[in-house]
Chain A
């Protein structure tokens, strides 16, 4: 009985103090600084990555999202890089996804720094005969591809078979919902 009491009493201070210290280590919320017109590089990277969290319709990311800056862009898209750089592109987030059936999807989102730049690259890349998606004037659906721009982002989605192609608009819409 005494042993039990001793044990109980011995445990109380460490657990009490431990809880208080652990709780305190979480820094109190600092004041909310009004966001600047354009976010800093690191914040923007984090926002960009966050677009790929929880893809819809059972689609999963195959690997971690890769970020490319100006230098890396040449490695990724080679000769097509200058048209992005000229329009002040900031970062590219390139991802590979797979549908539940196992079909591959490639999803590239370009952070163009401003909505004007995103519009500019969208206009530059689209063909003159392309038609906008019904009810979505910022998006164009082509064979095995889906391209759209929203706020400061420009997204290019590519599929490799019919099943994946059907998933493109769904994935695109979910990305658009997250773009601010």
Chain B
């Protein structure tokens, strides 16, 4: 009976997750809390709190889950986790036919300790100020896989009817990682959940204190091993139940035909195993490796002191060190961006910023009065601006600047080819426009006089939104391009004296 309840929970929460992913567009989002799953994720709370020393208010949702795990054990993995449901289904499809073969598939392995090392490394990185948890966190990974890989592919095939044509740079890497993890289920079921998942490791550690656990009644056991045939966590129900691995899927309670296994309140401790098999030395080594990795990553170039000009962050983003201390690389901002301009960085933000959001204006510009990225960011790496603050009101209040536009006079049509254009001036959304023109007369090739409008950028008004670059008729590398210089979130980036800081 409770087995069917568990299956219902899985279906309902997966559907809810998919609904939130689908709703995460500028057209459908309304006020939905689309990042609810990340908000209840205790690892997100823990790592961002460690690295940024503050707790974003929405992340308090994770506290109920921590408490529930302490009481009920690692039920999240079997009852609620969307990645868990996908892997459960695929693992079920990939399972061997014969019972004894399945028992072998679900046997505990030493590789299952790896996820604890992964957790330790992640916590070490976070303690030193770099959040990388999103790369392996199941919820962030599922969101990213759907947003950057699956949904764009489906939508583009259907003539872009869902969100227009969507392309993400090197999105194939996300595809490979996402489907690769799913394919591992054909090695043995729940491979990812057992070997790699840091959230599973964390919840497993909390389960050590759980009040309810699966426990075996030794008097009923005839050692047939059938209970382990469908064990999701490889928790060894036929031996001593490993509490840290048990996902409370309840399959073993049905598997045992003699009623020897049950989910009980406070069973005798000797009937369940609580060590994680990761020795203290291994914990420390992994943790220290994580901590040490941060200055090693930051010793390379591209972040500071020579910031990459292509590292244009979303509007409302915190200054770079604070941003990297909070950005999960969940790609929620990229999903919701109405123009599709927010893209996963590859090298532009250094290794630390891999898959964090940058604006690529040639693909999509930043809509002038849109603040959706800040609305969906679960950790506050992108703050939710008020439109009035984003747009500003010159001259009294400057707007939020993502960067600035620079003319490439060799490629711009009036400047380089004496051809009329100024589409950039036409589409510039600020008022007064940040691109203005001067009318001048030049001598054309055939000797005649030609009057043209020549465009210029006014740095005081330019917000770096990239509409000009996006619309420039020079189709490959545009005649006007935006770079991150002069972005308002970084005082050192300012080019003019008006900032009041040098």
List A residues at the B interface (Cβ < 8 Å): 2, 6, 9-10, 13-14, 17, 20-21, 23-28, 30-32
Taking a contact as CB atoms closer than 8 A, the residue among A2, A13, A14 that contacts B1 in the complex is A2
Closest CB of chain B to A157's CB: distance in Å?
41
Closest CB of chain B to A162's CB: distance in Å?
54
Which residues does chain A contribute within 8 Å of B305, judged by CB atoms? none
Determine the residue in chain B with the shortest Cβ distance to A16: B16
Docked pose: A157 CA to B26 CA in angstroms = 49
Asked if B258 CB lies within 8 Å of chain A CBs, one says no
Closest CB of chain B to A89's CB: distance in Å?
34
Q: DSSP majority for the A interface?
A: helix
Given contacts A10-B5, A32-B388, contact A24 B31 (CB under 8 A): yes
Flag if A17 contacts B16 (CB, 8 Å): yes
Given contacts A6-B5, A13-B12, contact A28 B31 (CB under 8 A): yes
Given contacts A13-B12, A17-B12, A31-B387, contact A24 B2 (CB under 8 A): no
In the complex, per-residue mask of B10-50: 1 if CB is within 8 Å of any chain A CB, else 0? 00110010010001000000111100100000000000000
Q: DSSP majority for the B interface?
A: helix
Which residues does chain B contribute within 8 Å of A28, judged by CB atoms? 30-31, 375
Flag if A20 contacts B5 (CB, 8 Å): no
Determine the residue in chain A with the shortest Cβ distance to B391: A31
Closest CB of chain B to A21's CB: distance in Å?
7
Docked pose: A2 CA to B262 CA in angstroms = 13
Flag if A25 contacts B31 (CB, 8 Å): yes
Docked pose: A21 CA to B16 CA in angstroms = 9
Asked if B9 CB lies within 8 Å of chain A CBs, one says yes
Taking a contact as CB atoms closer than 8 A, the residue among A9, A23, A31, A32 that contacts B33 in the complex is A23
Asked if B369 CB lies within 8 Å of chain A CBs, one says yes
Flag if A6 contacts B1 (CB, 8 Å): yes
A-B contact pairs, 28 of them (CB 8 A): A2-B1, A6-B1, A6-B5, A10-B5, A10-B8, A13-B8, A13-B9, A13-B12, A13-B13, A13-B16, A14-B12, A20-B32, A20-B33, A23-B31, A24-B30, A24-B31, A24-B32, A25-B30, A25-B32, A26-B30, A26-B31, A27-B31, A28-B30, A28-B375, A30-B387, A31-B369, A31-B386, A31-B388
In the complex, per-residue mask of B370-389: 1 if CB is within 8 Å of any chain A CB, else 0? 00000100000000001110
Which residues does chain A contribute within 8 Å of B33, judged by CB atoms? 20, 23-24
Flag if A27 contacts B5 (CB, 8 Å): no
